[in-house]
A = this chain, B = another copy of it.
């Protein structure tokens, strides 16, 4: 039986939380899912086989970074992102809309799109909904994200409305651009992105417009941009419910382990975040008892693993004392092992979430997790 292009089936629900599987041409994605971020065609400091061994079903690639280096057309000539980097399973690519505003210089936004200068070499580029769809198609993305504007934190209601309305016009152009190239991307799915900041009415309007356009699934955008966990959760109390219940809901750029547990409680199915990779390189380890900074002098002769309850290869082999030494000495192996542990921890967290939903005890799991993990402040 041929694999479906995109099919989501929910096997169990528990409150608003759901667990299930997304079937795609390149593999299954078990939800709730965490997608490690592979910005520049690599999950930093990990080989693809090591990423897969943590339990990751899908990774994320960044359109902004890849279009600048090595370039989307180049990756296409080299056979696409999967072959290029050696990852055979699904890849979700963002649209570039968020990073072009946060990383590039001399940005000029218009109805057409965003003109900007590369942060690498200053070269000028134009990113539009149509070009974003083309780039993601050239990369060979499995899950393509609509090109949108991430409304900035602290925007007034009027600003948020104007920004959301533009994103919805860009969503329609993204749908059209995606469909125009669909014959060259037969296995790909397209996700729309809900905006509207923290405002319930704007979120509802955005959801309605996206549903009108029609997407394979829907993301909640514009959160985790500095509003804080309380405001994020308050928005997630209503925003996911506005999106179709039979489609995966993806909360972009989230987050800390306790963010994820709280968002799953509110109906979210997919996550991505640089936190486990970036903070791993900086010496922060995630554990079931909360985060720890391995640079701390108290770990210098600590023979315990990072997390006694972790089954990852790092915890099976090396002590906190060794990792303390590696990170303090700036050794590459320190970044490798801290990252491997953190991604393993995140995947173990997602597996535990999925299992507890399947067994109808997610509320208990979440309560126990929070009691043990603490507030999750690093």
Asked whether any CB of chain B lies closer than 8 Å to the CB of A26, the reply is no
Q: How far is B77's CA from A46's CA once the two chains are assembled, in angstroms?
A: 31
The listed residue (B69, B317, B319, B326) touching A328 by CB distance below 8 A is: B69
- Taking the closest CB of chain B, its distance from the CB of A77, in whole angstroms, is 6
Q: How far is B47's CA from A69's CA once the two chains are assembled, in angstroms?
A: 28
Q: How far is B288's CA from A103's CA once the two chains are assembled, in angstroms?
A: 42
Give the residues in chain B near A78, CB-CB below 8 Å: 301, 303, 319, 321-322
Give the residues in chain B near A281, CB-CB below 8 Å: 332
A310-341 near B? 1/0 per residue, CB < 8 Å: 00000001110110111011011101110000
- Taking the closest CB of chain B, its distance from the CB of A71, in whole angstroms, is 9
The listed residue (B44, B45, B69, B322) touching A41 by CB distance below 8 A is: B322
Flag if A329 contacts B40 (CB, 8 Å). yes
Flag if A45 contacts B322 (CB, 8 Å). no
Flag if A47 contacts B336 (CB, 8 Å). yes
Flag if B45 contacts A332 (CB, 8 Å). yes
Q: How far is B332's CA from A337's CA once the two chains are assembled, in angstroms?
A: 12
Q: How many copies does the complex hold?
A: 2
Q: How far is B321's CA from A79's CA once the two chains are assembled, in angstroms?
A: 11
In the complex formed, the residue of B with least CB distance to A302 is B78
Q: How far is B303's CA from A40's CA once the two chains are assembled, in angstroms?
A: 18
Q: How far is B70's CA from A295's CA once the two chains are assembled, in angstroms?
A: 13
Q: How far is B329's CA from A337's CA once the two chains are assembled, in angstroms?
A: 21
Give the residues in chain B near A77, CB-CB below 8 Å: 301
List residues 5-48 of chain A with CB under 8 A from any CB of chain B: 40-42, 44-47
Give the residues in chain B near A47, CB-CB below 8 Å: 333, 336-337
Q: How far is B75's CA from A292's CA once the two chains are assembled, in angstroms?
A: 22
Give the residues in chain B near A322, CB-CB below 8 Å: 41, 78, 84-86
A67-82 near B? 1/0 per residue, CB < 8 Å: 0011000100111000
Asked whether any CB of chain B lies closer than 8 Å to the CB of A205, the reply is no
Give the residues in chain B near A45, CB-CB below 8 Å: 332-333, 336
List residues 289-317 of chain A with CB under 8 A from any CB of chain B: 300-301, 303, 317
Q: How far is B300's CA from A110's CA once the two chains are assembled, in angstroms?
A: 34
Q: How far is B192's CA from A22's CA once the two chains are assembled, in angstroms?
A: 64
Q: How far is B86's CA from A69's CA once the two chains are assembled, in angstroms?
A: 37
Flag if A332 contacts B84 (CB, 8 Å). no
Q: How far is B69's CA from A318's CA once the two chains are assembled, in angstroms?
A: 17
Q: Identify the interface centre among A46, A47, A69: most chain B CB within 10 Å of its CB.
A: A47
Give the residues in chain B near A44, CB-CB below 8 Å: 331-333
Flag if A86 contacts B317 (CB, 8 Å). yes
Flag if A301 contacts B86 (CB, 8 Å). no
Q: Identify the interface centre among A44, A326, A333, A335: most chain B CB within 10 Å of its CB.
A: A333
In the complex formed, the residue of B with least CB distance to A70 is B325
- Taking the closest CB of chain B, its distance from the CB of A273, in whole angstroms, is 19
- Taking the closest CB of chain B, its distance from the CB of A254, in whole angstroms, is 24
Flag if B301 contacts A333 (CB, 8 Å). no
- Taking the closest CB of chain B, its distance from the CB of A276, in whole angstroms, is 15
Give the residues in chain B near A40, CB-CB below 8 Å: 325, 329, 331
- Taking the closest CB of chain B, its distance from the CB of A277, in whole angstroms, is 10
What would 7 A/B residue contacts be, using CB atoms closer than 8 Å?
A40-B329, A40-B331, A41-B322, A44-B331, A78-B322, A85-B322, A332-B332
Q: Which 7 interchain pairs have the tightest Cβ spacing?
A: A45-B332, A42-B333, A70-B325, A40-B329, A86-B317, A42-B331, A78-B321
